[in-house]
Every structure is written in structure tokens, then in C-alpha cells.
């Protein structure tokens, strides 16, 4: 089935000049440390903690999100933290292009590649690395420090490989995220 058109009320979302649509009811801490690639949608209730940054001065990017991403309602994006050489710090987090993160998912990964779909109510542990072209099913728990290689489908708790994605998945996900962005339009009133 084709995706239905999702309407939102114009007053609820801010649209930036690069095409990002950010809900006013999303919780963005430390917005100066967050970079959104163009045409990314942050739905109501999503939380991005840009205030947890690396110790040290200077303007650092804490969370960078790519283009055509879709962060659903209630998802939480938090940078991961650990002690390294005696220093405790939070580390920057990078999310690629064309990434869909489902409702209620908590993401603390170190990097998420491009063309990734993450289901609802997932938990991506600290310093997990999700490479390009992956799919994480609903209700999956990815333990900390896990590496999810390309073209895998992970499911369960702890997340295990259950299947492989077809070779055409990059085009499928790209078309899907672009379509999702195109169908997210303000209500006519």
C-alpha cells in the first residue's frame, strides 16, 4: 500500500530553510550542538540531548543527523558516555541519511549508517555501531558495543541476526524516505 498522506498543523511544526520540520513539542536540549541535514522530520515528543557534550571547550557537534531522516514520536536520541583514559565523557553521535527511527525508540548508538530502518520501542545500546542498509525490527534490544553489519535484519533481545536484506534495499529505503517526506504536509487550514 502506498503511504498515506500525514497532515500536521502548521502551528505545531517549525520548518527551517533547509527543509527540516521540527515539532515545537519535541524536546531539544542544546540545539546549538545539533546538526540536522535537510528534509529531516522530528515528530512530537522526540528528544534529542545535545547538551551532553564532550568535556572541553569549543563548539562541538554532539548529534548530527543526515538528510531525509524521520524521527518518530517519543524517540530519544542520547549520545553515549564512557570513561576513556581516566576521563569520563559523552561522545558525539552521527546518524546517516535516509534513517527512519520508530516510535518510542531509545538510541544511544555511536554511529548509525545511512538507509537504516529502526522499528518501534527498540533500545540501541551505548556505542553500538549500525552500518549502512540495515533493519532493526520492532522491540529489539541491541546491547552496548554491538556492531550490526550491512544488509542485516536484527531482532530480539539481545538483537541477533535473523535475516538478510535484498541487494535492492538501498533504492527501496531511499524512495521510501523521500516519499515519506513528500507526504508529510501541513493541513490546508
Partner 1 sequence: MLAIDAPPGQGKTHQPFVHYRCLCSSPGSSATASTKSSSSSIHDHEADSTAAGTSSAADMNIDNTAASSSSPAPSSAGALIVRASPTSHESLFSEHHNPRSTEEIFASGNSSDEHGSMSLSRLYFCDSCGEIRCPKCTQDEIVCYYCPNCLFDVPTASVKSEKHKCSRNCFECPICQNTLSVVSDDPDVSLYTPGMTTAAGQYHLSCNMCQWNSNEIGMTFDKPTGLAVQLQKAEDGLPDVKEFGRLKDHLEKYFRVHGLKQGLPSSLLSSIQSGTLQSLRYVSSTNHKAQQSDDIAHYTPAVQVVEDTENLEKLMSITSLDETTSMKQRLLQLQNQTYSTQRLQPQRIHLRIKKSRRCRSCRHILVNPEQKAQATRFKINLVALNQLPNITIAHIQPMIVQTVSTVILRFTNPRQEEAHVSLEAGDGANPNHGVRILSENFTIAPFNEVWEYEVGTLTAPPGQAQEDVYDKTANSTSIMLYITPVAPGEVKIPLFVTFSFKARKLQTETGSPKLPSQLVLSGAAGRDSMPPAPEVEYVDKKVSFWTVIGFGDAVPTLSS
Partner 2 sequence: MMSRPKLTISTRALVCQDNDLRGEIIVGAGTVLHPQCRVWATGGPIMFGSGNIVEEHVVIINRGPEPLIIGDHNVFEVGSVMEGMKIGNRNTLEVKAHVKTGTWLGDECVIGTVCSTHENEILPDRTVIYGDKNDRRIYSGNKANQMSVHMRHLEYLMQTLPKFNHSRTST
Residues 8-67 that bind partner 2 (CB under 8 A): 27, 29-30, 47, 49, 51-53, 55
Assigned C-alpha cell, 160: 541477533
Closest of 106, 114, 110, 74 to residue 90, by C-alpha: 110
Binding mask 114-143 for partner 1 (x = CB under 8 A): -----------x-----xxx-x-x-----x
CB-CB contact of 94 with 112 (8 Å): yes
Task: Select from 21, 78, 98, 135 the one that contacts partner 2 (CB under 8 A).
Answer: 78
The residue among 189, 186, 134, 184 whose CA lies nearest residue 159 is 134
Question: Quick count: other Cβ atoms within 10 Å of Cβ 5?
Answer: 9
- Per CB under 8 A, the list member of 9, 56, 83, 189 interacting with partner 1 is 83
Under the criterion CB under 8 A, does residue 175 sit at the interface with partner 1?
yes
Least distance to partner 1 from the beta carbon of 152, Å?
8
Residue closer to partner 1, measured from CB, 51 or 174: 174
Radius of gyration of the chain (CA): 16
Using DSSP, state whether 169 is helix, strand or coil: helix
Nearer to partner 1, 28 or 141 (CB): 141
Quote the distance between the C-alpha of residue 148 and its chain's center: 15
Q: Which among 154, 40, 17, 160 is positioned nearest to 77, based on CA atoms? A: 40
Considering all CA atoms of the chain, what is the largest pairwise distance in Å, rounded to the nearest integer? 56
Which parts of 37-139 are beta strand (E)? 41-42, 47-49, 63-65, 70-71, 76-77, 81-84, 87-90, 93-95, 100-101, 106-107, 111-112, 117-118, 123-124, 129-130, 135-136
Nearer to partner 2, 100 or 141 (CB): 141
Binding mask 84-113 for partner 1 (x = CB under 8 A): xxx---------------------------
Q: Is 145 in the site for partner 1 (CB under 8 A)?
A: yes
**Contact residues for partner 2, defined by CB under 8 A:** 27, 29-30, 47, 49, 51-53, 55, 76, 78, 81-83, 87-90, 106, 108, 123, 125, 139, 141, 143, 156-158
**Contact residues for partner 1, defined by CB under 8 A:** 1-3, 5, 83-86, 125, 131-133, 135, 137, 143-147, 149-153, 158, 160-161, 163-164, 166-172, 175-176, 178-179, 182-183
Amino acid at each position: 500500500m502506498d503511504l498515506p498522506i500525514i497532515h500536521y498543523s502548521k502551528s505545531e511544526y517549525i520548518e527551517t530553510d533547509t527543509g527540516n520540520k521540527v515539532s515545537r513539542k519535541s524536546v531539544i536540549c542544546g540545539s546549538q550542538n545539533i546538526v540536522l541535514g535537510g528534509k529531516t522530520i522530528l515528530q512530537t515528543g522526540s528528544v534529542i540531548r545535545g547538551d551532553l557534550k564532550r568535556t572541553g571547550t569549543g563548539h562541538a557537534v554532539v548529534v548530527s543527523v543526515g538528510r531525509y531522516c524521520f524521527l518518530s514520536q517519543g524517540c530519544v536520541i542520547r549520545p553515549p558516555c564512557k570513561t576513556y583514559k581516566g576521563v569520563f565523557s559523552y561522545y558525539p553521535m552521527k546518524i546517516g541519511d535516509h534513517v527512519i527511527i520508530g516510535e518510542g525508540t531509545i538510541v544511544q548508538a555511536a554511529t548509525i549508517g545511512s538507509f537504516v530502518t529502526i522499528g518501534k520501542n527498540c533500545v540501541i545500546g551505548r556505542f553500538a555501531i549500525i552500518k549502512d542498509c540495515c533493519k532493526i525490527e520492532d522491540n529489539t534490544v541491541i546491547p552496548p558495543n554491538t556492531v550490526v553489519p550491512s544488509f542485516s535484519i536484527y531482532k530480539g533481545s539481545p538483537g541477533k541476526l535473523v535475516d538478510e536484506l535484498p541487494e535492492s534495499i538501498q533504492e527501496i529505503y531511499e524512495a521510501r524516505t523521500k516519499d515519506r517526506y513528500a507526504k508529510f504536509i501541513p493541513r490546508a487550514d
